[in-house]
Copies of this chain bind each other. A is one copy, B any other.
Amino acid sequence: MSESVFTYAAPGLKFGRGASDEIGWDLQQLVPATTAGGSARRVLLVTDPGVAATGHPARIADGIRAVGLDVAVFEGTRVEPTDASMEAAIAFARDSGPFDAVVAVGGGSAIDTAKAVDLLLTNPGELMDYVNAPVGAGRPPEQPLLPLVAVPTTTGTGAESTTICVLDVLALKVKTGISHARLRPTLAVVDPGLTMTQPPLVTASCGMDILCHALESYTARWFADFDAKQPGQRVPYCGANPIADMWSEKALSLLAGSFRRAVRDGSDAEAREQMALAATFAGLGFGNAGVHVPHACAYPVAGRVRDYRPAGYPADEPIVPHGMAVVMTAPAAFALLFEASPERHLRAAELLGGPSSGEHVPLGRDTLPSVLRGLMRDVGLPSGLAELGYGAADVGDLVDGALKQQRLLATAPIEVTGEDLATVFAGSLEHW
């Protein structure tokens, strides 16, 4: 019997310039001002050093103190967090707690770190108990988490809307995550004013994450094409559905009008606002439908990095930023998946504005990949996996890494084999 039910959930949202000035008030609605004993409630604010340097976290902390709440600030989030960096954050929180609420200010790294901290402040055990099996024990959190207010400063991850938390497990050289409905933030405060300081390559990489969230959830397996589930088997990612489709389509239209502009001129407030809206919309879509092949491939692309050091990111360690890792295999992945829903692939290409002017691409398998390559080139992304340091000899390892992401591959519209993934990686070494 096939499935007949889909689910949808979202955090509360406050969107607009100045929204981050009101977080003290919002927290007052989520926690009473004092404990029964009369002492002030305490908030943990999680951020990273780069974001802390913009001054926004300190300003937000002051706004929270102004309503009478205590705030402890943790600035040690690692960009692209690891098990070690998350454990350090958890140790800080345990030492300086107890807390009544958590606020994350930053990109997906800070928000995901805050989710892990919140989980381990409220549930027993250690981080690896909750990490997806087989890497971790895949234990579901049994207790509700503290209220989490997520304040994104990049326009990309949608982490403020989703139930997932992504991390590198250093000993295994593998990127994996924790996924559970209890991890979804309580409130997303999206203030486009906070996103103006993203350097161009950060805007470009994060924007590609938005793009792939929207495209992957739009082309995911239709919810009713899965076998019928028992209620306890329902996962936050239920496949493409009428609600996720709506968010994805709108996110693609918003990107068409703002992505190139926001990269070209970071001070273009209107483009920044549209990108922030696109990121939120795509997060609300994929956070319920799911992502598949490009995101599965991104795990080993990022996890096996050798010495790639992108401009605008911390220079101390090599990283492939998440959105960059995701989009690298997107053109080849969408070529692979075209037959599963040609009309959706063509509609997505159209919503993105179609092929660049001057290009004559016949409508078909290469339409969407061609639109993607044009956009990647225009916003200054690397030309393919080769530029990130991978070669034909790495394809086998990359395939093995992607095959580990069965939770994501299950959302693909077709059965994806190792051979399919080898074609995708081999076709992603050089895009131009």
Contact = CB atoms under 8 A, between A and B. Distances in A.
A25 B232 contact: yes
A308 interface: no
Interface stretch (A2-10, A90-98, A317-325, A408-416): A2-10
A12 B9 contact: yes
Contacts of A5: 14-19, 22
Main secondary structure of the interface of A (DSSP, over half): mixed
Given A6-B15, A15-B8, A19-B5, A25 B277 contact: no
Nearest to A17: B4
Q: Interface size for chain A: under 10, 10 to 19, 20 to 34, or 35 or more residues?
A: 20 to 34
B6 A16 contact: yes
Interface in A1-47: 3-10, 12-19, 22, 25-26
A336 interface: no
Nearest to A5: B16
A344 interface: no
Contact of A231 (B8, B12, B16, B25): B25
Contact of A4 (B10, B16, B246): B16
Contact of A12 (B7, B15, B17, B246): B7
Nearest to A191: B5
Contacts of A246: 246-247, 250
Contacts of A247: 246
Contacts of A12: 7-9
Interface of A: 3-10, 12-19, 22, 25-26, 231-232, 242-243, 246-247, 250, 277
